[in-house]
Structure 1
């Protein structure tokens, strides 16, 4: 193989092939890495099939480099690698050979590119990748490369948890225990949330949920997750909620001329009464939001972390009647990415149960097929130097 070429898994028109492509060179502020491990994400599976849909979505928010179906693209935004060399205008923070992880984006001439979703730059299904030095973090505590490579997907879960601002005494319901749901469970546990209830049709995924920290797991075909809280609190219907209001006002107004309304102002400032359960939607299929609005308890917060790539509808009246907050979550901040890496390295986040297989480049095709069966796999990693072809 020429020194200017490298091996990579290329997706074009839905086909995955191992090819030789030009090796990247680091530009200003960038670092060249040898890829040690790369993770196959569910979004990669979607991108192979729904390439044009994803490109349309990216165009809405102004990202013009998302590939179309006919374009050749190298997927891979979850990875760990070793430092090879630096481009100009870098601080050269780490010695060659240092193990690092990086957020999957670079910038050339102030134009950002998302690694693994670009026509211009390759992702981590390759022997080498270029990353931005300012978004790169050294792997601490001797953490193994395969576990460090899980920083990116676990950071997605941590961002959803932080976005919810959940308290330790609030009940968390995690609906769907694929990689995103498992990441949410693991980071909820790291955040000290006392009650985590997980729901999934798959027995294998329910077992993984327990390993990641779920306190209660249910098969939704048999048990309603929203009736599974071992210590339920708060009113479960509107009449019960109204009676809470009646009782409170009768007590407050027993004292003549007392400024009872100040109590409500204080409750608002302290967010008292806004501590209902938090529901994390980690499925991402049409209809799931509407079904959760119908089933979720009063005053819940719904965090939508599942990536639904098809049109969907829901009845706003369900959320209005229950006063359910709805938030959508994606990605992470640099601080969350760094903190996730250290939580994994410090043993606060149990990420290892997610890894269910490792393949080489010629095994990526079989890995994509295997990941369609939740009973077989959760997260398959790519080792560029592995001969394994069967996932």
Structure 2
């Protein structure tokens, strides 16, 4: 089969042996594979990623000297089964798969390990247990977006954001846009999107953002100045606390501390902030968020920063900022995401901004490093 191999940061199309399914495994003909931001990072920063991953026991992450076929976002059609599989789906059935496969006795991350071949190829090997049918006549092309949408679904679930809270999405690349879609699917009524690119701000609007901000002209944090619920200045909050506690203590026969706790349970505590989704992954952005965001903000870090970064902890302490780092998703979230797509609850089509063949992947990688008009580029191995 033909596949795109990454070796020493270079991408080239090569002829490789067709994958052979082992027990409980399935070979798919790849329909589409998405180019992920983590693939762009891994091309040049694989060694750093491998070192960090090995610290938690993930020892098979690719290094720059490895010859690796990347591609972990994909859809396909069933081609053949290995021994011991249930053969639930007929040959040619459109499917997606949770991107992990057992190789040499251990589970490997498809597209990020030298021990298994990713989906920038004509075929890919997957686990039967991780196989999901793409039903309802859903587009096999858009089904390839299940994986990045699952990343966003996981991030939004981890945030525990309520419908009445404000979300701020910093960075409207593919994952930022996916987060916006999942926030709106959750019923969040006010979503602010911030990006320097006019094209990406337009995509954010298509994904349902209620307000878009060009940070070069208007800070996303300026929208909270004078906000009745979220505060950027601690002084009025202290004044409010003084007056409120004074008034509560005048109420006879009712412990004022219980009234304060009851207000918290009712969602009326003044100690509330918005939920910020950092979807850039560039040094300095997290510190910028901490410095500018309102008090009591919850920050969900979705962007993958591959370099050391610095924050100012005392600012986060003074504001009581909460930081939540998120990674990937679990199989149930992946399956739930597919159902949201095929049922029409979420429409990821605004993310799809281009399709290339295997021979154009290298150029697409270069373009995605700077192209503002692109969000998600899909690879068609048959083109």
User: What is the TM-score of this pair, normalised by structure 2?
Assistant: 0.95
CA drift of 1:265 comes to 3.9
Q: Contact 1:170 / 1:275 at 8 angstroms: preserved in 2?
A: no
1:80 maps to 75
After TM superposition, the structure 1 = structure 2 runs for residues 218-237 of structure 1, keeping only pairs within 5 Å, are 218-228=213-223, 232-234=227-229, 235-237=231-233
Distance in 2 between residues matched to 1:207 and 1:192, nearest whole Å: 21
1:24 maps to 19
For 2:328, which of 321, 325, 331 is the aligned residue? 331
Q: Contact 1:26 / 1:32 at 8 angstroms: preserved in 2?
A: yes
Task: Indicate the larger mover: 374-383 or 167-176.
Answer: 374-383
SS in 1 for 2:16: strand
1:314 maps to 311
SS in 2 for 1:137: strand
Matched, 1:364 2:368: no
Which consecutive residues of structure 2, in runs of 5 or more, have no partner in the other structure?
none
Q: Contact 1:278 / 1:301 at 8 angstroms: preserved in 2?
A: yes
Q: Contact 1:40 / 1:382 at 8 angstroms: preserved in 2?
A: yes
The 3 A distance-change label for structure 1 pair 366 and 193 is: same
Distance in 1 between residues matched to 2:101 and 2:70, nearest whole Å: 15
For 1:253, which of 245, 249, 258 is the aligned residue? 249
CA drift of 1:113 comes to 0.2
Q: Contact 2:224 / 2:232 at 8 angstroms: preserved in 1?
A: no
Q: Contact 1:204 / 1:374 at 8 angstroms: preserved in 2?
A: no
1:3 maps to none
Q: Contact 1:90 / 1:133 at 8 angstroms: preserved in 2?
A: yes
Distance in 2 between residues matched to 1:290 and 1:268, nearest whole Å: 29
- What is the count of residue pairs matched by the alignment? 381
1:107 maps to 102
CA drift of 1:236 comes to 3.2
Q: Contact 2:103 / 2:116 at 8 angstroms: preserved in 1?
A: no
Distance in 1 between residues matched to 2:225 and 2:203, nearest whole Å: 21
Distance in 1 between residues matched to 2:251 and 2:213, nearest whole Å: 48
For 2:43, which of 6, 28, 48 is the aligned residue? 48
Superposed CA offset, 1:293-323 (max 9, x none): 0000111100010100000110111111111
Matched, 1:355 2:358: no
2:374 maps to 377
Matched, 1:132 2:121: no
Which consecutive residues of structure 1, in runs of 5 or more, have no partner in the other structure?
1-5, 387-391
2:179 maps to 184
CA drift of 1:262 comes to 2.2
